[in-house]
Structure formats: C-alpha cells, structure tokens
Chain A
Amino acid sequence: MTSLKVSVGSSHRRKPVSRFRRDLDSGFRRNDGIKKSDPARRLCHSNCNFQASVDPRPSVIEERLKKVKRIIAVTGWKGGIGKSVIACALALLLAKKGYKTGLFDLDFAGASDHIILGAGGLFPKEEKGLEPPLFEGVKFMSVVFFSENKAVPLRGANVSDAIIELLAITQWGELDFLVLDMPPGINDAALDVLRFAGKAEVLAVTTPSVIARDVLARSLVLYRGLKAPVLGVLENMARGPAPKGIAARLRFDPGLEAALGHPAALIKTAFCRDLISALKILKLEE
C-alpha cells in the first residue's frame, strides 16, 4: 500500500518574489500559444536568462493610471439595477462640477453607456496609444468603439484580455476621477480590473429587492477580502424605509427613461438631484 503524506501548515515561509515573477508563477500572464516547434521558441538559445511567453501589457497599466487621482468602480452583482445609469450620471455630474473626469464602460457583454449618454459617432484618437474622445466634458472609452455595436461573443478569458488591452493602450492623462462601469457580478474581468486599478474605490449599487440586497451582502464580504475600499452603498429605485448600511438613496424616477440619451436632460432629473446629494455623503466632492 502506498501512503501519501500531506504536509499541512508548513513552517517554510514563502520567499518574497517580485510582481513580475509572481505573475508568471501564478500563470496570470497568458501563454500566447507558443509551442515547442514554434519559431518563437526555436530562436531561444541556451544562454537566455528567461524563456517563456510573457504578456507585457500589465507592466504599463500602472503608468496609464498614474495621473488619475481617484478611480471609482461602480459595481452591482445583479443585472438591471441601474449601475450603468449611475456610472454615466456620476461622470456627467463630476465633469459639470469642474472635475477632470473619465468614464470607462467595462461591461463588454452589455455595453450601454454610449446609449445612456447619447454618444454616437465617436472614436478615440490614435496618439501613442488611444486618447478617449471627450463627450460632454467626460473622456469616454467603450468597447463599442471597436465592435460597431455588434454582439461580441467573448468567453471570460477573452473579456479579461480585451480589458487588459484597453487598460494598456488608453492614455487617460490627468484626471480627478475615472469612473469605471464594471461588468456585473464578479468574474475574471472584474477581478482583473480590481487588481490592476489598485487604487479603485468600490461604489456598490443595490435596489430594495431582497435578492439584490442578499447578493450585495456577499459582494461586500468579497471586497473586504480583496482589500478593495468600499466608498459606500447606493440604493437605486429606492422606496419605503431606508435599510441599514445604505450610504445614500436614489428614489425611483419615472422621468428617467425619457432623459436617457440626452445628457442635458439627464442631469436635470430627480434621479440626478438625488445623486448630487449623494456626492457629499460619499465624499466625492469637497
């Protein structure tokens, strides 16, 4: 009989490793499909100090976000709770208050910020990367610029790859705020964004629904585990008495739908008035 000895709670301490090496070891940096027979491998000689397929893009993401003072990740784990409308309205309001603001629609499967803003016919400028077009005072980046508004059937790793590509090549420049409209739920893409945008503060969105609240509670536990600071919880479509743990409430506004696609009308809605009140509570303005 063969016995298998399993060591639990090893006393060996992990050696500190560089971010580069850690990423390689964890297999995060994608293998670009280089096989042993590939020319890319054959060119490697025995005197190589290092031989592997390394994704260089993560190395430059920090540089791209260096001049961004605050990153606000608008998250919500349930679909249809108004996360994108809040992200767009927040970006518009911050820009209107004179803050240099960017908005990045990371919801690849359901990109909709361009519809909420009414931002058609835009394309980034190519200048040592991509400079997001300015719309209503907001630097705006979205995958729809590259998809011609077609469905993009991407699997998890592909979404992650596309987001890393855009994070690596987008030149945001100086910003007071970069608002991220996060993909719903927590998946490869959302985890990668929180990992690369290290200084991101989470603005969690929920609704009065018991389902949304339950999912929210789980998400907050995870954000704590990921050491992602939570700015606060916004309750959208609020009604009835305020539940515990909610930083600010946005009342249901029947006039909101008609204002979508019209930024000037959007920022005058009751929804936006509630959001303006929330800015101070959430410490998003001085």
Chain B
Amino acid sequence: MHEWALAESVIKAAVEHAGAEKLKKLKETGVVFGGLQAIDKDVFVFALEEMRKQFPCAKACKFKIIKQPAAFRCKACSHEFTLKGLKKTKDEAEFIHFVPEMAHAFLKCPKCKSPDFEISAGRGVSISYIKGNR
C-alpha cells in the first residue's frame, strides 16, 4: 500500500516542523486529502496510527483528515472543471492514484478537449496546520 509511504512523509514533516518550532509534543495535525489522488483513508489513518509510535513527540498526535475536491483550470480555454463527469478506466484511476500528474495523460478539458490544464486544487496529500505544546 503506497499510502504507508505518504503517511510516513506526513509524520516526518510534522515532526520536523515540531523541531523547527520547538514544540515538545504534537497535539493535532491537519492532513488534506486531494480528491485527485483518491487516497484510501482507512489505510492511511491506520499507517499514521502505527507509525506515530516511532516518534516520541508525535505519540499522542491526532490527525484530522480534510477532504479537498479536485479542481482543474484549462490552460487553453480557461474553463474550470472538476473530476465529476471525467471518464477514466480503473487502470487509469490507479495510475493517477500513484502519480496524480498522470491525469494529464488520461483526462481532458471537457469543453475544448485539451490535455493542457492546471490542477488548481485537490492534487494529493498535504499538511494544512499543526498544533502542539512548547
């Protein structure tokens, strides 16, 4: 499950931040799930729960998952669109799951059919906030 690799990056980034901000304990971390990557929330949360034990300052950290819908903007015609209505096969969805940029190989602007679009929101996993004690 490649969710484990991303979960590990979230914990490491949060712990790195705690160190930079001189936080002794992390209380809560906001994790944004971009709709395009379609991360399996259960696997991701399980991985976070398991891995946080390895980091003393993150042992009690709660992870708040915030879902963010994917949004795109066509570079050719400026049309703004979402994932809704865009067709992709099961394999294509899996490739996008691993590398969200593959959306450019499989998806097109619904208005002008250009593959040259910008992922304006909801690409993948990111951290939106961190709370902790100094």
Contact = CB atoms under 8 A, between A and B. Distances in A.
A49 B66 contact: no
A168 B13 contact: no
Contacts of A152: 101-102, 104-105
A171 interface: yes
Given A34-B68, A51-B129, A158-B104, A56 B23 contact: no
A56 B104 contact: no
A57 B9 CA distance: 5
B14 to A, nearest CB: 8
A54 interface: yes
A11 interface: no
Contact of A40 (B13, B71, B128): B128
B68 A50 contact: no
Given A34-B32, A59-B16, A153 B66 contact: no
Nearest to A41: B128
Contact of A166 (B66, B95, B99, B132): B99
B99 A146 contact: yes
Interface of B: 1-2, 4-6, 8-10, 12-14, 16-17, 19-21, 23, 30, 32, 34, 64, 66-68, 71, 91-92, 95, 98-102, 104-106, 115-116, 119-132
A209 B63 CA distance: 56
B129 A50 contact: yes
B105 A59 contact: no
Q: Give the 9 A-B residue pairs with the shortest CB-CB distance, closest first.
A: A33-B121, A129-B5, A56-B13, A60-B9, A128-B4, A18-B20, A162-B101, A59-B13, A59-B12
Contacts of A165: 98-101, 124
B4 A129 contact: yes
Contacts of B34: 32
Interface string A31-66: 011110011110111011111111111111001000
Contact of B123 (A33, A41, A58, A168): A33
A171 B5 contact: yes
A44 B125 contact: no
A161 B123 contact: yes
A165 to B, nearest CB: 5
Given A59-B16, A153-B104, A38 B127 contact: no
Contacts of A147: 95, 102, 105
Interface string A141-184: 00100111011111100110110011011010000000000000
A56 B30 contact: no
A55 B128 CA distance: 9
A21 interface: yes
Most chain B beta-carbon neighbours within 10 Å: one of A49, A60, A143: A49
Contacts of A30: 126
A56 B12 contact: yes
A130 interface: yes
